[in-house]
Amino acid sequence: MENSRKKKKTVTRRAFLQSLSGGAVGAGVASRVLGKEPRSIQSGPGEMEVFSSKRIALTVNGKKVGFETEPGETLLQVLRDRLRLTGTKRTCNRGECGGCTVLLDGKPVYSCHILAIQAEGKDILTIEGLASGDKLHPVQQAFIDKDSYQCGFCTPGFIMSSVALLDKNKQPSLDEIKAGLSGNLCRCGNYQKIHAAVAAAADAMRRG
Work out the number of other CB atoms within 10 angstroms of the CB of residue 192.
Answer: 11
**Residue 48 to residues 25, 34, 118, 187, Cα–Cα distance (Å):** 10, 19, 13, 39
Please tell me whether residue 81 binds ligand FES under the rule CB under 6 A.
no
Q: How near is the Cβ of 206 to ligand FES at its closest, in Å?
A: 26
- Of 98, 129, 138, 180, the one binding ligand FES (CB under 6 A) is 98
Question: Residue 32 or 195: which CB sits closer to ligand FES?
Answer: 195
**Distance of alpha carbon 120 from alpha carbon 60, whole angstroms:** 11
Please tell me whether residue 188 binds ligand FES under the rule CB under 6 A.
yes
Which helix or strand (DSSP H or E) is residue 143 part of?
Answer: helix 138-145
Footprint on residues 113-172 left by ligand FES (CB under 6 A): 149-154
Strands (E), 76-121: 101-104, 107-110
**Residue 132's beta-bridge partner residues?**
135
Phi then psi for 126, rounded to 5 degrees?
-115, 175
Inter-residue contact 15 to 35 (CB < 8 Å): no
Q: How near is the Cβ of 168 to ligand FES at its closest, in Å?
A: 21
Please tell me whether residue 100 binds ligand FES under the rule CB under 6 A.
yes
Question: Residue 50 or 154: which CB sits closer to ligand FES?
Answer: 154
Number of residues that bind ligand FES (CB under 6 A): 22
Q: How near is the Cβ of 7 to ligand FES at its closest, in Å?
A: 47
Q: How near is the Cβ of 88 to ligand FES at its closest, in Å?
A: 9
Please tell me whether residue 92 binds ligand FES under the rule CB under 6 A.
yes
Inter-residue contact 60 to 85 (CB < 8 Å): yes
Interaction site with ligand FES (CB under 6 A): 90-93, 95-100, 110, 112, 149-154, 186-188, 190
